[in-house]
Amino acid sequence: MAAARKGFDSIVAARTRAALQISNTPDLLAGWVGLGGLAVDLEAIAAAGRDAEAFNHAQGSARTDGKAATAEVIRTFNSLQKEYSLAMAVVRAVRGDFARANADDALLTRLDDIIANTASVTVDIHEQPDGKKSRTTSKALSQEAIRAEIQRDAEALLGFAGVQQALAARKLDATRLQALRDDAKALSGKLGDRSAKKGAAKDATEREREAAATQRDLWGGVYGILSALGRKDARVAVLLKEARG
């Protein structure tokens, strides 16, 4: 199993400090150059370390934003589901009223289509020990699938003139259905915002790990020179000890 890629940590920070300390101390820099090192080597190590730290901070901010967005989605989604459940309870009652009144089949079928849970169905294929395959289906319960169905049902009821009066008599009038539809539409934006924030956190994490990996490569490439300088100067030896990992 491949080792997990590391991001910004105390080792990255220590190597950044070491590179900066050598760069900014004239006699240490002279010793570094005298052993075959270049100033640009140290600058690259420090720059990669600073990038890793910056992306680490960005990741933390994005995660905080993502948590806030998730909390807002949960609050809104729960409220929307509660109103939708109440609305569909009225629709079922109205369907019963029409059935008892011997309404035509087309009207009842249209109501049944609205009442039915039409969230996306997922199909899983399972291979049995004897080589045969079985299929199982299940409703997709993602928030987006449920949100989309709520919007579709609200729009379907708003466009169903034949039941408007009966729904309104049970307090499910056009104004309430419009609010249900509009709230479902608005939730789509909140779900998108949450996804974007999660994506930002993922991107920052990847960039942080890339920067840390770049620093590791740069450090390893010149470590022989660093080690030689450490043997000649106790200050560098201490820096290298802190940066060991």
Q: DSSP per residue over 21-71, as a string? A: HHHHSHHHHHHHHHTT--HHHHHHHHHHHHHHHHHHHHHHHHHHHHHHHHH
Q: Per DSSP, what are the bridge partners of residue 192?
A: none
Residue 144's closest CA among 193, 201, 91, 92? Answer: 193
Mean pLDDT, all residues of the chain: 82
Q: CA–CA separation, 237 vs 51, rounded Å?
A: 25
Is residue 197 exposed (0-12), middle (13-18) or buried (19+ Cβ within 10 Å)? buried
pLDDT in tens, 78-98: 788 888 889 999 999 999 999
Q: For the CA atoms of 188, 189, 194, 197, what is the dihedral angle to 10 degrees? A: 150
Provide the whole-model pTM.
0.49
Q: Given this model, what pLDDT does residue 122 score?
A: 44
Residue 182's closest CA among 158, 217, 166, 212? Answer: 158
Collapsing DSSP states into helix, strand and coil, what is residue 118? coil
Rounded to the nearest angstrom, the gap between the alpha carbon of residue 14 and the centroid of all alpha carbons in its chain is 31
* Region of residue 145 (phi > 0: left; psi between -120 and 50: alpha; otherwise: beta): alpha
pLDDT in tens, 158-217: 999 999 999 999 999 999 999 999 888 888 766 655 555 665 567 778 888 888 999 999
pLDDT in tens, 58-73: 766 656 555 555 666 6
pLDDT in tens, 141-169: 477 778 888 889 999 999 999 999 999 99
